[in-house]
Amino acid sequence: MKKKNVFGAQTIFACAALLLFVLCIGCATSDLNAILGAVAQASQVSQYNPVMELPVGSTIPGRLAQNQEIWYSVRANQSGFLIVETTSEIDTFLVAHDTQRNVLAENDDGGSGLNARIELMTQPNIEYLFRLTGYGGSAEGPYMISASIRPLTTPTALRLGTGNRGYIETNQDYWFRVSANQNGILRINTTGSTDTHLEAYNESYELLSVNDDGGEDLNAQIDLFVRSGENYIIRLRAYGDNSGAYELLANIRPYPTPTQLAPGAFLDRTLAQGEEHWFSVRTTRAGQLTVYTTGSTDTMLAALTSDYQFIVEVDDYEDLNARVQIPVQAGTTIFRLKAYGSNSGPYRINASFE
């Protein structure tokens, strides 16, 4: 059973309040408010668990109690993939945060056995926080935790319209570079019987999209809105512990001509499997534009600017229907509608503006 810290947050706050009462007899109201704010801030900070440094290239031991969380800070010393993982006989769970404690990634059994493993693309001198717990709060026992960086691999050129065939080894990844020769929609996909996973990055290795089974059967597929002359980095690996042959394909198709959808109107359509429907909504002033579907078909809806720059994509807002609500200026907004996965069927698309 986890022991309580005698000098916990509540104790610190009580002591601070007592000290405040002694010091502030006769204080002005403004002084009292200032001190109260400082005490409240100190109380909030004290609720955070201490953070231990985990240097890149090191492995350090620890022991996890039930319902305990242990924090580590890791600072990247080069570009590449920052890998933090545990080695133990217990079921561990890791969450990666930025320095503001926003969640970046989390993992349960990505390592060996029941061990957690997180891999982040990083640049030099970036600091991350990692929160380690037992899965479900019940795991306890000794563990080792390590941090390492795997350097980036020089990507192989992937020509548009030409497939790249190979064999994916277990726990290996393969990198490709694609250059867009026109504005349009770049589709990266695999074919074959191997369960694949794809990630797309820009030239600065900022993550753009991730997909597992978006293609046929267990194949991955990514669609990117691209501009002529831009380069994109593709990472290919097998999903989980799989391995096998693959073919990686890259093609660009021109932007489609969308169907006009007036605010206040609706259209009834039917989606075939794998089909996309495109719509444009024109507004004459600034306001809030809402486009949504109704019906029994599981739909996904993406919003783009008039020059096809991605804004947002949503899946299930109500039941299986999609809904996008965004602030707009006078002009045209583009919407792409498709069925989720291998679904198909009828739908109604509606637009409203206020």
- Same domain as 15, residue 80: no
Provide the CATH number for the domain around residue 204: 2.60.120.380
Query: CA torsion sign, 18 to 20 to 23 to 25?
Result: negative
What pLDDT, in 10s, does the model give residues 294-319? Answer: 999 999 999 999 988 889 999 878 78
Answer with the residue of higher pLDDT: 212 or 130. Answer: 130
Are residues 175 and 138 part of one domain?
no
**Are residues 263 and 349 part of one domain?**
yes
pLDDT in tens, 239-289: 878 899 999 999 999 999 999 999 999 999 999 988 999 999 999 999 999
Residue 164 pLDDT exceeds 70: yes
Smallest CA-to-CA distance from 76 within 121, 138, 141 is with 121
What residues make up the domain containing 225? Answer: 156-253
When pLDDT is averaged across residues 224-253 and rounded to a whole number, the result is 92
Query: Where a domain ends, among 97, 117, 150?
Result: 150
User: CA-CA distance, 238 to 151, in Å (whole number)?
Assistant: 20
The CA distance from 181 to 167, in Å, is 28
The string of pLDDT tens digits covering residues 110-155 is: 888 899 999 888 989 999 999 999 987 778 899 999 999 998 889 9
Last residue within a domain, chosen from 150, 167, 183: 150
Q: Are residues 248 and 273 in the same domain?
A: no
26 within domain boundaries: yes
Angle at the Cα of 259 from the Cα atoms of 254 and 265, rounded to 5 degrees:
155
Domain end call among 122, 150, 178: 150
The structural domain count of the chain equals: 4
Place of tokens 């990247």: 76
Residue 1 lies in a domain: no
The mean pLDDT of 325-332, rounded to a whole number, is 96
The 207-211 sheet, strands edge to edge: 156-157, 173-179, 231-238, 196-201, 207-211
Tokens of 272: 């075939």
